[in-house]
Structure 1
């Protein structure tokens, strides 16, 4: 299961693998890109094998009961799965055509979509292909967020996580200039050119590991910004809502589905609109109402039932 170094994708995959470990399965992740680690290590019960370890992935495939892959690793994993006659699960994190093309190459026993709208997009894609290339089974597992792992007392800052252009770094910069009395938090992302304003009311935080987000980010955040040009779901928004933190977001299909009625939606090109919404939201009555909606939405997104169904389907493939 070699994942790409994409923070949201990695969090989703690890969150899906943990329940399999809890059911007593031997789970290993084989990394596909170079990093600092050179020896295999354990992460929450999952054995992680770095590319630098130079161990034989093909041998691991031969011994496996089920293969799980995603992103750019799907074609190579699919080839090995076909060669060794192993069932393969493809976890889909986005609606890009290449994601669906890789999955449609044949041999996908189970496709996992992270949202209803992604499944609908897959239906449109497969409508032009013969039924033989469709996955054997399909299911939806929304990126699992266990609220108790993120819940904390909100802080005072307006926060953007990953400050590249696509995530809305320029929106944060313009808002910080317009609202000099307000504290902002700019969290450096793992990818993309970062827009990090050099302003007295903007604190820049280095890249934060998932397990440290509660203390280093959400405990300091009053409102989360998500003016993203594209989000297939929007995991950090769900993480923030576990603490009752309101989320002001661009209405991508993924964010509209994940945030639901708790989301406060403003077009990413309407900075005036963002400023007006934030100034209103930062008043006590409006904030209490928005926070209450966020907490309620977090409860609706409890992942337990979907993860149970996920484990059942993977175990069925193994049998």
Structure 2
């Protein structure tokens, strides 16, 4: 089966959760013996590259349709801005298409009105939000390869992506409240980064798809996110037994489970108290063991969901027009 992943942005130049998830799904299809190529329409250059053995073509929006037709895919896998193009290619050439849905917004609802062969929701709560969607669908949580992230934790309190939506103001407020504690700010893959170098207890880590180094420096992860449809960072950290404190978005509740540590992003005292409580060795050990157990549960579910995903994508080619 020939698969074209049609996206406007892709890793490693754009390391957001949706793009990371798309690449991991592409790798699952390759692992099942299928040929996968990626077409990026929001290009930073015209030069292609390979990532984990997958060819990545960077083309202009004007040339994208012709390039995709030349690749002669049996199915197109897409998300976000390129969903409309996939629907057009289906109408013109009969190519089945599969869409990933990551958000509970109007754009997702509009996409679900288009005749996709399959819709893949990244969480159960998103699937429930669009329970009235009449088309074929399944849930595939963003997969995590534990071996890519597992390490011995460090001593820093870490925030990944220094932007307001991810809670950068909470991060710096805690930096000021705990001057003797080491904090690590990781530059994100998108958004205007709020990098402050005037705090002696803050270290800044560059943006990178290789997150094991971040986890090797991290003792606790902060996720005071305004919006978080899932919480891929949380799961990646928990693989190494790193506790995560999070704002209770639906996605983070689904990722962290019933034993997760939560504090409202507008309640700084709650964040400070939860963080300080983890200084007690027994409290930290309990939270760390919970994180490890939760990560094991999620990665086991990932294996089953990826197998279902591959099977579902294979099946849509059987009904090509």
TM-score, normalised via structure 1 length? 0.91
Give the aligned partner of residue 23 of structure 2.
14
Give the aligned partner of residue 205 of structure 1.
205
In structure 1, stretches of 5+ residues that fail to align are 127-133
Give the aligned partner of residue 181 of structure 1.
180
Question: What SS does the corresponding residue of 2:212 show, helix, strand or coil?
Answer: helix
Give the aligned partner of residue 110 of structure 1.
118
Are 1:284 and 2:284 counterparts? no
Quickly say closer, same or farther: Cα 1:190–1:296, change in 2 above 3 A.
same
Please give the per-residue CA displacement for 1:232-255, whole angstroms capped at 9, x wherever unaligned. 101000000000000000000000
Give the deviation of 1:17 after TM superposition. 0.9
Give the deviation of 1:272 after TM superposition. 0.8
Question: What SS does the corresponding residue of 2:216 show, helix, strand or coil?
Answer: helix
Quote the Cα distance in structure 2 between the aligned partners of 1:4 and 1:162: 21
Decide whether the 8 Å contact of 1:74 with 1:103 is kept in 2: no
> Which residue, 3, 7, 15 being the options, matches 2:7?
3
Question: What SS does the corresponding residue of 1:143 show, helix, strand or coil?
Answer: coil
Give the deviation of 1:59 after TM superposition. 4.7
Quote the Cα distance in structure 1 between the aligned partners of 2:231 and 2:39: 25
Decide whether the 8 Å contact of 1:173 with 1:196 is kept in 2: no
Give the aligned partner of residue 130 of structure 1.
none
Give the deviation of 1:113 after TM superposition. 0.2
Counterparts of residues 226-241 of structure 1 (less than 5 Å): 226-241=223-238
Decide whether the 8 Å contact of 2:6 with 2:76 is kept in 1: no
Give the deviation of 1:50 after TM superposition. 1.0
Give the deviation of 1:153 after TM superposition. 0.3
Quote the Cα distance in structure 2 between the aligned partners of 1:56 and 1:95: 28
- CA RMSD, Structure 1 to Structure 2 (Å): 1.6
Give the aligned partner of residue 58 of structure 1.
66
Quickly say closer, same or farther: Cα 1:53–1:269, change in 2 above 3 A.
closer
TM-score, normalised via structure 2 length? 0.91
Are 1:214 and 2:183 counterparts? no
Q: Which moved more, 1:151-160 or 1:277-286?
A: 277-286
Please give the per-residue CA displacement for 1:4-63, whole angstroms capped at 9, x wherever unaligned. 435111110011111111122110111121214x33222112211112698654353461
Give the aligned partner of residue 246 of structure 2.
249
Quote the Cα distance in structure 2 between the aligned partners of 1:4 and 1:271: 37
Give the aligned partner of residue 268 of structure 1.
265
Question: Hey, which bits of structure 1, 4+ residues long, moved more than 4 A?
Answer: 52-56
Give the deviation of 1:119 after TM superposition. 0.3
Decide whether the 8 Å contact of 1:21 with 1:45 is kept in 2: no
